[in-house]
Structure 1
Amino acid sequence: MDLAREHGISTQAVRNYERDGVLPAARRPPSGYRAYTDLHVAALRAYLALVPAHGYQASAEIMRAAVHGDLDTALSAVDRGHAQLLRDRETLDAVEATIGVLTAAPATSRPDRPLTVGALAHRLGVAPATLRKWERAGVLTPARDRATRQRIYHPDDVRDAELAHLLRRGGYLLDHIATVLRQVRAADGPEPLAASLHGWRQRLAARGRAMLVAAGRLADYLDAAGS
Protein backbone atom coordinates (compact mmCIF):
# COMPACT_ATOMS: atom_id res chain seq x y z
CA MET A 1 0.00 0.00 0.00
CA ASP A 2 1.56 3.26 -1.18
CA LEU A 3 0.03 5.20 1.71
CA ALA A 4 1.84 3.03 4.26
CA ARG A 5 5.07 2.68 2.26
CA GLU A 6 5.68 6.44 2.12
CA HIS A 7 5.96 6.60 5.92
CA GLY A 8 7.54 3.22 6.61
CA ILE A 9 4.52 1.93 8.52
CA SER A 10 2.44 -1.21 8.07
CA THR A 11 -0.81 -1.42 6.16
CA GLN A 12 -2.43 -2.57 9.42
CA ALA A 13 -1.32 0.67 11.08
CA VAL A 14 -3.11 2.65 8.36
CA ARG A 15 -6.25 0.57 8.88
CA ASN A 16 -6.00 1.17 12.64
CA TYR A 17 -5.72 4.91 12.10
CA GLU A 18 -8.81 4.80 9.91
CA ARG A 19 -10.63 2.71 12.53
CA ASP A 20 -9.65 5.20 15.24
CA GLY A 21 -10.98 8.13 13.23
CA VAL A 22 -7.68 9.94 12.67
CA LEU A 23 -8.05 9.28 8.93
CA PRO A 24 -11.25 9.75 6.91
CA ALA A 25 -13.14 6.56 6.11
CA ALA A 26 -11.90 5.04 2.86
CA ARG A 27 -14.24 4.31 -0.01
CA ARG A 28 -14.78 0.62 -0.80
CA PRO A 29 -15.14 -0.13 -4.54
CA PRO A 30 -16.68 -3.45 -5.73
CA SER A 31 -13.25 -5.11 -5.47
CA GLY A 32 -13.48 -4.70 -1.71
CA TYR A 33 -10.08 -3.03 -1.39
CA ARG A 34 -9.91 0.32 0.37
CA ALA A 35 -9.46 3.24 -2.00
CA TYR A 36 -7.27 5.92 -0.49
CA THR A 37 -7.10 9.38 -2.03
CA ASP A 38 -4.94 12.47 -1.76
CA LEU A 39 -7.13 13.49 1.19
CA HIS A 40 -6.00 10.38 3.08
CA VAL A 41 -2.39 11.12 2.19
CA ALA A 42 -2.74 14.63 3.64
CA ALA A 43 -4.48 13.29 6.77
CA LEU A 44 -1.80 10.70 7.45
CA ARG A 45 1.00 13.22 6.91
CA ALA A 46 -0.73 15.59 9.32
CA TYR A 47 -1.25 12.97 12.02
CA LEU A 48 2.30 11.62 11.87
CA ALA A 49 3.67 15.18 12.05
CA LEU A 50 1.43 16.02 15.01
CA VAL A 51 2.60 13.09 17.15
CA PRO A 52 6.15 14.35 17.92
CA ALA A 53 4.73 17.84 18.48
CA HIS A 54 1.71 17.10 20.68
CA GLY A 55 1.87 13.43 21.66
CA TYR A 56 -0.41 10.57 20.63
CA GLN A 57 -3.50 11.44 22.66
CA ALA A 58 -3.68 15.11 21.67
CA SER A 59 -2.79 14.31 18.05
CA ALA A 60 -5.63 11.81 17.81
CA GLU A 61 -8.01 14.37 19.32
CA ILE A 62 -6.88 16.99 16.80
CA MET A 63 -7.24 14.71 13.78
CA ARG A 64 -10.58 13.20 14.82
CA ALA A 65 -11.98 16.71 15.19
CA ALA A 66 -10.47 17.80 11.87
CA VAL A 67 -11.82 14.73 10.06
CA HIS A 68 -15.31 15.51 11.40
CA GLY A 69 -15.04 19.15 10.38
CA ASP A 70 -14.95 20.40 14.00
CA LEU A 71 -12.30 23.06 13.43
CA ASP A 72 -12.78 24.79 16.80
CA THR A 73 -12.06 21.61 18.75
CA ALA A 74 -9.04 20.78 16.60
CA LEU A 75 -7.50 24.22 16.93
CA SER A 76 -8.25 24.43 20.64
CA ALA A 77 -6.23 21.24 21.16
CA VAL A 78 -3.39 22.74 19.11
CA ASP A 79 -3.55 25.91 21.22
CA ARG A 80 -3.30 23.87 24.43
CA GLY A 81 -0.13 22.26 23.11
CA HIS A 82 1.45 25.63 22.37
CA ALA A 83 0.39 26.95 25.78
CA GLN A 84 1.99 23.92 27.48
CA LEU A 85 5.22 24.47 25.55
CA LEU A 86 5.27 28.10 26.71
CA ARG A 87 4.76 27.00 30.32
CA ASP A 88 7.60 24.50 29.95
CA ARG A 89 9.86 27.24 28.61
CA GLU A 90 8.95 29.48 31.54
CA THR A 91 9.75 26.65 33.95
CA LEU A 92 13.14 26.13 32.32
CA ASP A 93 13.84 29.86 32.45
CA ALA A 94 12.97 29.89 36.16
CA VAL A 95 15.29 26.97 36.83
CA GLU A 96 18.15 28.46 34.81
CA ALA A 97 17.77 31.78 36.62
CA THR A 98 18.50 30.15 39.98
CA ILE A 99 20.46 26.97 39.37
CA GLY A 100 23.76 28.85 39.40
CA VAL A 101 22.95 30.11 42.89
CA LEU A 102 22.14 26.60 44.07
CA THR A 103 25.20 24.88 42.65
CA ALA A 104 27.47 27.60 44.07
CA ALA A 105 26.01 27.24 47.56
CA PRO A 106 28.39 25.65 50.10
CA ALA A 107 27.51 22.06 50.97
CA THR A 108 26.23 21.45 54.46
CA SER A 109 26.19 18.21 56.39
CA ARG A 110 22.87 16.40 56.38
CA PRO A 111 21.31 15.19 59.62
CA ASP A 112 21.59 11.45 60.24
CA ARG A 113 17.95 11.20 61.29
CA PRO A 114 14.68 12.90 60.34
CA LEU A 115 13.99 16.29 61.90
CA THR A 116 10.78 17.66 63.34
CA VAL A 117 9.42 20.97 62.16
CA GLY A 118 10.82 22.65 65.27
CA ALA A 119 14.29 21.16 64.80
CA LEU A 120 14.41 22.14 61.13
CA ALA A 121 13.17 25.65 61.91
CA HIS A 122 15.94 25.97 64.54
CA ARG A 123 18.54 24.71 62.04
CA LEU A 124 17.52 27.35 59.49
CA GLY A 125 16.84 30.13 61.97
CA VAL A 126 13.22 30.59 60.88
CA ALA A 127 9.87 30.15 62.59
CA PRO A 128 7.99 26.82 62.26
CA ALA A 129 5.16 28.82 60.68
CA THR A 130 7.53 29.73 57.84
CA LEU A 131 8.11 26.06 57.03
CA ARG A 132 4.37 25.43 57.03
CA LYS A 133 3.91 28.36 54.64
CA TRP A 134 6.55 26.91 52.34
CA GLU A 135 4.73 23.59 52.45
CA ARG A 136 1.43 25.22 51.45
CA ALA A 137 3.24 26.88 48.53
CA GLY A 138 4.56 23.50 47.33
CA VAL A 139 8.17 24.31 48.24
CA LEU A 140 8.45 21.49 50.82
CA THR A 141 6.76 18.09 50.87
CA PRO A 142 7.48 16.53 54.28
CA ALA A 143 6.17 13.14 55.30
CA ARG A 144 4.05 12.56 58.40
CA ASP A 145 4.89 10.33 61.33
CA ARG A 146 2.36 7.48 61.25
CA ALA A 147 1.77 7.54 64.98
CA THR A 148 1.85 11.25 65.84
CA ARG A 149 0.98 12.70 62.40
CA GLN A 150 3.72 15.27 62.97
CA ARG A 151 5.74 16.51 60.01
CA ILE A 152 9.11 14.80 59.64
CA TYR A 153 11.87 16.05 57.39
CA HIS A 154 14.20 13.47 55.86
CA PRO A 155 17.69 14.45 54.54
CA ASP A 156 16.35 15.37 51.09
CA ASP A 157 13.67 17.52 52.71
CA VAL A 158 16.35 19.27 54.73
CA ARG A 159 18.30 19.88 51.53
CA ASP A 160 15.18 21.36 49.91
CA ALA A 161 14.54 23.57 52.93
CA GLU A 162 18.11 24.85 52.91
CA LEU A 163 17.92 25.60 49.18
CA ALA A 164 14.58 27.36 49.68
CA HIS A 165 16.05 29.40 52.51
CA LEU A 166 18.97 30.39 50.28
CA LEU A 167 16.65 31.45 47.45
CA ARG A 168 14.35 33.36 49.78
CA ARG A 169 17.34 35.33 51.05
CA GLY A 170 18.06 36.10 47.41
CA GLY A 171 14.60 37.61 47.03
CA TYR A 172 12.95 34.84 44.98
CA LEU A 173 9.19 34.34 45.26
CA LEU A 174 7.74 31.14 46.68
CA ASP A 175 6.08 30.02 43.44
CA HIS A 176 9.41 30.44 41.66
CA ILE A 177 11.20 28.44 44.35
CA ALA A 178 8.54 25.71 44.22
CA THR A 179 9.07 25.37 40.47
CA VAL A 180 12.82 25.08 40.89
CA LEU A 181 12.64 22.57 43.75
CA ARG A 182 10.25 20.31 41.84
CA GLN A 183 12.94 20.06 39.18
CA VAL A 184 15.68 19.57 41.78
CA ARG A 185 13.74 16.66 43.29
CA ALA A 186 13.12 15.10 39.88
CA ALA A 187 16.84 15.32 39.04
CA ASP A 188 17.94 14.13 42.53
CA GLY A 189 19.87 17.29 43.31
CA PRO A 190 20.89 20.65 41.87
CA GLU A 191 24.13 19.43 40.26
CA PRO A 192 22.50 16.75 38.06
CA LEU A 193 19.79 19.27 37.22
CA ALA A 194 22.35 21.87 36.13
CA ALA A 195 23.95 19.28 33.85
CA SER A 196 20.59 18.49 32.23
CA LEU A 197 19.55 22.06 31.34
CA HIS A 198 21.14 22.13 27.88
CA GLY A 199 19.45 18.90 26.87
CA TRP A 200 16.17 20.14 28.31
CA ARG A 201 16.33 23.29 26.18
CA GLN A 202 17.20 21.26 23.11
CA ARG A 203 14.15 19.06 23.65
CA LEU A 204 11.90 22.11 23.96
CA ALA A 205 13.38 23.55 20.75
CA ALA A 206 12.81 20.26 18.95
CA ARG A 207 9.19 20.21 20.12
CA GLY A 208 8.72 23.79 18.97
CA ARG A 209 10.09 22.96 15.52
CA ALA A 210 7.88 19.87 15.36
CA MET A 211 4.89 22.08 16.11
CA LEU A 212 5.78 24.31 13.17
CA VAL A 213 5.96 21.31 10.83
CA ALA A 214 2.74 19.86 12.25
CA ALA A 215 0.89 23.16 11.78
CA GLY A 216 1.82 23.18 8.10
CA ARG A 217 0.74 19.56 7.59
CA LEU A 218 -2.55 20.16 9.40
CA ALA A 219 -3.19 23.28 7.29
CA ASP A 220 -2.55 21.19 4.16
CA TYR A 221 -5.13 18.64 5.30
CA LEU A 222 -7.70 21.29 6.17
CA ASP A 223 -7.22 22.87 2.74
CA ALA A 224 -7.64 19.48 1.05
CA ALA A 225 -10.77 18.79 3.10
CA GLY A 226 -12.19 22.24 2.37
CA SER A 227 -12.40 23.07 6.09
Structure 2
Amino acid sequence: MTNDDAVGSQQYTTSRLAAVSGYSVQQIRDLERLEVIPPAARQPNGYRQFTSVHVTALRAYRQLAIAVGPVIARATMREIRHVPYDKAVARIVALHVDLARSRDDTIVALHALDSIVEETAQDAPPAPGDTMSITQLSTALGVRSSTLRFWEQEGLFTPDRAEHLSARRYPPGAVNDARIVAALRAGGYRIPAVKAVMASLRTIDGTSNAREALRDRLTSIAARSEALLRAGADFSDLLCSFAVSNQLADSG
Protein backbone atom coordinates (compact mmCIF):
# COMPACT_ATOMS: atom_id res chain seq x y z
CA MET A 1 0.00 0.00 0.00
CA THR A 2 1.39 3.39 -0.95
CA ASN A 3 1.06 6.48 1.18
CA ASP A 4 -1.35 7.96 -1.35
CA ASP A 5 -3.50 4.86 -1.16
CA ALA A 6 -3.39 4.87 2.63
CA VAL A 7 -4.56 8.42 3.09
CA GLY A 8 -7.12 8.17 0.27
CA SER A 9 -6.26 9.81 -3.05
CA GLN A 10 -9.78 9.80 -4.51
CA GLN A 11 -11.64 13.03 -3.82
CA TYR A 12 -15.31 13.67 -3.06
CA THR A 13 -17.47 16.73 -2.61
CA THR A 14 -19.91 16.66 0.31
CA SER A 15 -22.84 15.86 -1.96
CA ARG A 16 -20.96 13.10 -3.74
CA LEU A 17 -19.83 11.59 -0.44
CA ALA A 18 -23.47 11.68 0.69
CA ALA A 19 -24.54 9.82 -2.43
CA VAL A 20 -21.81 7.20 -2.04
CA SER A 21 -22.22 6.64 1.70
CA GLY A 22 -25.99 6.84 2.11
CA TYR A 23 -25.77 9.63 4.67
CA SER A 24 -27.31 13.04 4.11
CA VAL A 25 -25.18 16.11 3.54
CA GLN A 26 -26.14 17.42 6.98
CA GLN A 27 -25.33 14.10 8.64
CA ILE A 28 -21.87 14.14 7.09
CA ARG A 29 -21.28 17.66 8.39
CA ASP A 30 -22.48 16.59 11.83
CA LEU A 31 -20.28 13.49 11.87
CA GLU A 32 -17.28 15.58 10.85
CA ARG A 33 -18.06 18.06 13.64
CA LEU A 34 -18.34 15.19 16.13
CA GLU A 35 -14.97 13.82 14.90
CA VAL A 36 -16.53 10.54 13.84
CA ILE A 37 -14.77 11.03 10.50
CA PRO A 38 -11.49 12.88 9.96
CA PRO A 39 -11.73 16.60 9.16
CA ALA A 40 -12.13 17.35 5.49
CA ALA A 41 -9.59 19.39 3.59
CA ARG A 42 -10.79 22.77 2.39
CA GLN A 43 -10.57 23.91 -1.19
CA PRO A 44 -9.62 27.57 -1.98
CA ASN A 45 -13.33 28.36 -2.33
CA GLY A 46 -14.01 26.96 1.16
CA TYR A 47 -15.81 23.81 0.04
CA ARG A 48 -15.04 20.56 1.83
CA GLN A 49 -12.93 17.96 0.05
CA PHE A 50 -13.25 14.38 1.23
CA THR A 51 -11.36 11.23 0.28
CA SER A 52 -11.89 7.48 0.16
CA VAL A 53 -10.81 7.36 3.80
CA HIS A 54 -14.03 9.20 4.66
CA VAL A 55 -16.06 6.67 2.69
CA THR A 56 -14.43 3.87 4.67
CA ALA A 57 -14.92 5.68 7.98
CA LEU A 58 -18.61 6.26 7.32
CA ARG A 59 -19.12 2.64 6.33
CA ALA A 60 -17.32 1.44 9.46
CA TYR A 61 -19.28 3.81 11.67
CA ARG A 62 -22.63 2.58 10.33
CA GLN A 63 -21.85 -1.03 11.28
CA LEU A 64 -20.25 0.00 14.55
CA ALA A 65 -23.35 1.95 15.57
CA ILE A 66 -25.44 -1.17 14.96
CA ALA A 67 -23.00 -3.24 17.02
CA VAL A 68 -22.53 -1.03 20.08
CA GLY A 69 -24.90 1.93 19.72
CA PRO A 70 -24.18 5.43 18.41
CA VAL A 71 -22.73 6.86 21.63
CA ILE A 72 -20.00 4.24 22.02
CA ALA A 73 -19.51 4.17 18.26
CA ARG A 74 -18.85 7.90 18.11
CA ALA A 75 -16.42 7.73 21.04
CA THR A 76 -14.59 4.79 19.46
CA MET A 77 -14.25 6.47 16.08
CA ARG A 78 -12.75 9.55 17.75
CA GLU A 79 -10.40 7.50 19.90
CA ILE A 80 -8.89 5.22 17.28
CA ARG A 81 -7.79 8.17 15.15
CA HIS A 82 -5.62 9.64 17.90
CA VAL A 83 -4.09 6.67 19.74
CA PRO A 84 -1.17 4.47 18.63
CA TYR A 85 -1.96 1.63 16.25
CA ASP A 86 -1.69 -1.11 18.89
CA LYS A 87 -4.10 0.67 21.22
CA ALA A 88 -6.56 1.27 18.39
CA VAL A 89 -6.53 -2.43 17.52
CA ALA A 90 -7.00 -3.33 21.18
CA ARG A 91 -9.99 -0.98 21.38
CA ILE A 92 -11.78 -2.77 18.54
CA VAL A 93 -10.92 -6.18 19.97
CA ALA A 94 -12.38 -5.10 23.33
CA LEU A 95 -15.74 -4.46 21.63
CA HIS A 96 -15.77 -8.05 20.37
CA VAL A 97 -14.91 -9.26 23.87
CA ASP A 98 -17.76 -7.23 25.40
CA LEU A 99 -20.28 -8.75 23.00
CA ALA A 100 -18.95 -12.25 23.64
CA ARG A 101 -19.25 -11.65 27.40
CA SER A 102 -22.83 -10.43 26.97
CA ARG A 103 -23.64 -13.62 25.08
CA ASP A 104 -22.05 -15.79 27.79
CA ASP A 105 -23.98 -13.93 30.51
CA THR A 106 -27.25 -14.41 28.64
CA ILE A 107 -26.63 -18.15 28.23
CA VAL A 108 -25.89 -18.39 31.96
CA ALA A 109 -29.19 -16.63 32.64
CA LEU A 110 -31.07 -19.08 30.41
CA HIS A 111 -29.49 -22.01 32.23
CA ALA A 112 -30.46 -20.40 35.53
CA LEU A 113 -34.08 -20.14 34.42
CA ASP A 114 -34.08 -23.79 33.35
CA SER A 115 -32.73 -24.75 36.77
CA ILE A 116 -35.47 -22.73 38.46
CA VAL A 117 -38.16 -24.54 36.48
CA GLU A 118 -36.63 -27.95 37.16
CA GLU A 119 -36.21 -27.32 40.88
CA THR A 120 -39.73 -25.90 41.21
CA ALA A 121 -41.18 -29.03 39.57
CA GLN A 122 -39.28 -31.29 41.99
CA ASP A 123 -39.90 -29.27 45.16
CA ALA A 124 -42.52 -30.41 47.60
CA PRO A 125 -45.47 -28.05 48.10
CA PRO A 126 -44.45 -25.24 50.46
CA ALA A 127 -45.48 -25.67 54.07
CA PRO A 128 -47.29 -22.86 55.88
CA GLY A 129 -44.76 -20.30 57.07
CA ASP A 130 -42.07 -21.69 54.76
CA THR A 131 -40.16 -18.46 54.09
CA MET A 132 -36.62 -17.09 53.82
CA SER A 133 -35.13 -14.09 55.55
CA ILE A 134 -33.47 -11.34 53.53
CA THR A 135 -30.06 -12.62 54.66
CA GLN A 136 -30.86 -16.16 53.59
CA LEU A 137 -32.17 -15.04 50.21
CA SER A 138 -29.27 -12.68 49.51
CA THR A 139 -26.83 -15.49 50.35
CA ALA A 140 -28.70 -17.96 48.12
CA LEU A 141 -28.71 -15.55 45.16
CA GLY A 142 -25.21 -14.20 45.73
CA VAL A 143 -26.36 -10.58 45.91
CA ARG A 144 -26.35 -7.97 48.65
CA SER A 145 -29.32 -7.40 50.92
CA SER A 146 -29.37 -3.80 49.69
CA THR A 147 -29.82 -5.13 46.15
CA LEU A 148 -32.87 -7.12 47.22
CA ARG A 149 -34.32 -4.05 48.92
CA PHE A 150 -33.76 -2.03 45.75
CA TRP A 151 -35.48 -4.68 43.62
CA GLU A 152 -38.37 -4.65 46.08
CA GLN A 153 -38.62 -0.85 45.83
CA GLU A 154 -38.81 -1.23 42.05
CA GLY A 155 -41.77 -3.58 42.45
CA LEU A 156 -40.01 -6.63 41.04
CA PHE A 157 -41.21 -8.83 43.90
CA THR A 158 -42.85 -8.39 47.31
CA PRO A 159 -41.86 -9.97 50.66
CA ASP A 160 -44.28 -10.73 53.48
CA ARG A 161 -44.30 -8.21 56.32
CA ALA A 162 -46.83 -8.56 59.14
CA GLU A 163 -46.29 -4.95 60.11
CA HIS A 164 -44.82 -1.96 58.27
CA LEU A 165 -41.54 -2.07 60.22
CA SER A 166 -41.26 -5.85 60.69
CA ALA A 167 -38.46 -7.94 59.20
CA ARG A 168 -38.88 -9.09 55.63
CA ARG A 169 -39.81 -12.72 55.03
CA TYR A 170 -39.85 -14.12 51.52
CA PRO A 171 -42.41 -16.84 50.71
CA PRO A 172 -41.71 -19.34 47.89
CA GLY A 173 -43.42 -17.17 45.25
CA ALA A 174 -41.28 -14.16 46.12
CA VAL A 175 -38.15 -16.32 46.23
CA ASN A 176 -38.94 -17.62 42.74
CA ASP A 177 -39.50 -14.09 41.46
CA ALA A 178 -36.22 -12.95 43.01
CA ARG A 179 -34.37 -15.79 41.30
CA ILE A 180 -35.85 -14.85 37.93
CA VAL A 181 -34.87 -11.21 38.50
CA ALA A 182 -31.34 -12.28 39.40
CA ALA A 183 -31.13 -14.42 36.26
CA LEU A 184 -32.34 -11.57 34.04
CA ARG A 185 -29.93 -9.11 35.64
CA ALA A 186 -27.09 -11.59 35.15
CA GLY A 187 -28.13 -11.74 31.50
CA GLY A 188 -27.56 -8.02 31.14
CA TYR A 189 -31.11 -6.72 31.42
CA ARG A 190 -31.59 -3.26 32.91
CA ILE A 191 -34.20 -2.66 35.59
CA PRO A 192 -36.90 -1.22 33.24
CA ALA A 193 -36.64 -4.29 31.00
CA VAL A 194 -36.71 -6.64 34.00
CA LYS A 195 -39.75 -4.79 35.32
CA ALA A 196 -41.57 -5.30 32.02
CA VAL A 197 -40.78 -9.02 31.99
CA MET A 198 -41.85 -9.50 35.60
CA ALA A 199 -45.11 -7.64 34.94
CA SER A 200 -45.90 -9.97 32.06
CA LEU A 201 -45.01 -13.02 34.15
CA ARG A 202 -47.77 -12.11 36.59
CA THR A 203 -50.38 -12.46 33.86
CA ILE A 204 -48.83 -15.19 31.70
CA ASP A 205 -47.20 -18.47 32.59
CA GLY A 206 -44.06 -18.55 34.69
CA THR A 207 -40.68 -18.26 33.05
CA SER A 208 -41.76 -18.58 29.41
CA ASN A 209 -41.62 -14.83 28.81
CA ALA A 210 -38.29 -14.54 30.57
CA ARG A 211 -36.87 -17.29 28.34
CA GLU A 212 -38.25 -15.57 25.25
CA ALA A 213 -36.71 -12.27 26.32
CA LEU A 214 -33.31 -13.87 26.82
CA ARG A 215 -33.50 -15.72 23.49
CA ASP A 216 -34.37 -12.41 21.80
CA ARG A 217 -31.29 -10.95 23.47
CA LEU A 218 -29.13 -13.74 22.05
CA THR A 219 -30.51 -12.98 18.58
CA SER A 220 -29.77 -9.29 19.06
CA ILE A 221 -26.21 -9.99 20.24
CA ALA A 222 -25.64 -12.21 17.19
CA ALA A 223 -26.80 -9.43 14.86
CA ARG A 224 -24.62 -6.89 16.63
CA SER A 225 -21.62 -9.22 16.49
CA GLU A 226 -22.18 -9.74 12.76
CA ALA A 227 -22.24 -5.96 12.23
CA LEU A 228 -18.94 -5.63 14.09
CA LEU A 229 -17.44 -8.39 11.96
CA ARG A 230 -18.62 -6.63 8.79
CA ALA A 231 -16.82 -3.50 9.94
CA GLY A 232 -13.59 -5.43 10.45
CA ALA A 233 -12.03 -4.93 7.02
CA ASP A 234 -12.91 -1.24 7.04
CA PHE A 235 -11.32 -0.81 10.45
CA SER A 236 -8.18 -2.55 9.22
CA ASP A 237 -7.93 -0.10 6.33
CA LEU A 238 -8.74 2.87 8.55
CA LEU A 239 -6.14 2.05 11.18
CA CYS A 240 -3.47 1.68 8.50
CA SER A 241 -4.51 5.03 7.02
CA PHE A 242 -4.44 6.75 10.39
CA ALA A 243 -1.04 5.25 11.20
CA VAL A 244 0.42 6.53 7.92
CA SER A 245 -1.17 9.96 8.40
CA ASN A 246 0.24 10.19 11.92
CA GLN A 247 3.70 9.20 10.70
CA LEU A 248 3.57 11.84 7.98
CA ALA A 249 2.45 14.45 10.50
CA ASP A 250 5.26 13.51 12.90
CA SER A 251 7.90 13.59 10.18
CA GLY A 252 6.63 16.96 8.96
Task: Tell me the TM-score normalized by structure 2.
Answer: 0.64
> Which residue of 2 is the match for residue 171 of structure 1?
none
Q: How many residues align?
A: 203
The answer to whether the aligner puts 1:133 opposite 2:146 as a matched pair is no
Aligned equivalent of 2:31, options 17, 20, 36: 17
Per the alignment, do residues 149 and 219 of structure 1 end up closer, same or farther by CA in structure 2, a change over 3 Å counting? farther
Q: Alpha carbon RMSD of aligned pairs, Å?
A: 3.7
Gap runs ≥5 in structure 2: 1-14, 154-160, 202-206, 245-252
Pairing 1:86-125 to 2, within 5 Å after superposition: 86-103=100-117, 105-106=120-121, 122-124=129-131
Cα displacement string for residues 132-175 of structure 1 (whole angstroms, at most 9, x for unaligned residues): 424662597144889637436599634335x58xxxxxxxxxxx
The answer to whether the aligner puts 1:65 opposite 2:57 as a matched pair is no
1:19 & 1:128 partners in 2: Cα distance? 52
The answer to whether the aligner puts 1:83 opposite 2:92 as a matched pair is no
Cα displacement string for residues 67-105 of structure 1 (whole angstroms, at most 9, x for unaligned residues): 335435533432332222122111122123233343453
The answer to whether the aligner puts 1:216 opposite 2:220 as a matched pair is no
Aligned equivalent of 2:183, options 155, 179, 183: 179
Which residue identity is paired with 1:49?
Q
Contact preservation (8 Å) 2:109, 2:183 = yes
Per the alignment, do residues 100 and 199 of structure 1 end up closer, same or farther by CA in structure 2, a change over 3 Å counting? same
Cα displacement string for residues 107-135 of structure 1 (whole angstroms, at most 9, x for unaligned residues): 99xxxxxxxxxx99x414x6764234246
User: 1:35 is paired with a residue of what secondary structure?
Assistant: strand
1:52 Cα deviation (Å)?
Answer: 0.9
Contact preservation (8 Å) 2:109, 2:184 = yes
Per the alignment, do residues 127 and 56 of structure 1 end up closer, same or farther by CA in structure 2, a change over 3 Å counting? closer
User: 2:21 is paired with a residue of what secondary structure?
Assistant: coil
Per the alignment, do residues 212 and 135 of structure 1 end up closer, same or farther by CA in structure 2, a change over 3 Å counting? closer
> Which residue of 1 is the match for residue 43 of structure 2?
29
2:60 & 2:24 partners in 1: Cα distance? 17
Contact preservation (8 Å) 1:22, 1:67 = no
Contact preservation (8 Å) 1:65, 1:73 = no
Contact preservation (8 Å) 1:49, 1:217 = no
Per the alignment, do residues 132 and 206 of structure 1 end up closer, same or farther by CA in structure 2, a change over 3 Å counting? closer
Contact preservation (8 Å) 2:60, 2:234 = yes
> Which residue of 1 is the match for residue 217 of structure 2?
200
Which residue identity is paired with 1:210?
A
Aligned equivalent of 2:63, options 49, 52, 66: 49
Contact preservation (8 Å) 2:40, 2:48 = yes
Gap runs ≥5 in structure 1: 109-118, 165-176
> Which residue of 2 is the match for residue 115 of structure 1?
none
Deviates more, 1:68-77 or 1:42-51: 68-77
Cα displacement string for residues 166-199 of structure 1 (whole angstroms, at most 9, x for unaligned residues): xxxxxxxxxxx94356569822242201233432
Which residue identity is paired with 2:216?
G
1:205 & 1:93 partners in 2: Cα distance? 13
> Which residue of 2 is the match for residue 151 of structure 1?
168
User: 1:36 is paired with a residue of what secondary structure?
Assistant: strand
Contact preservation (8 Å) 1:65, 1:74 = yes
Per the alignment, do residues 63 and 182 of structure 1 end up closer, same or farther by CA in structure 2, a change over 3 Å counting? closer
Which residue identity is paired with 2:208?
E
Deviates more, 1:76-85 or 1:126-135: 126-135
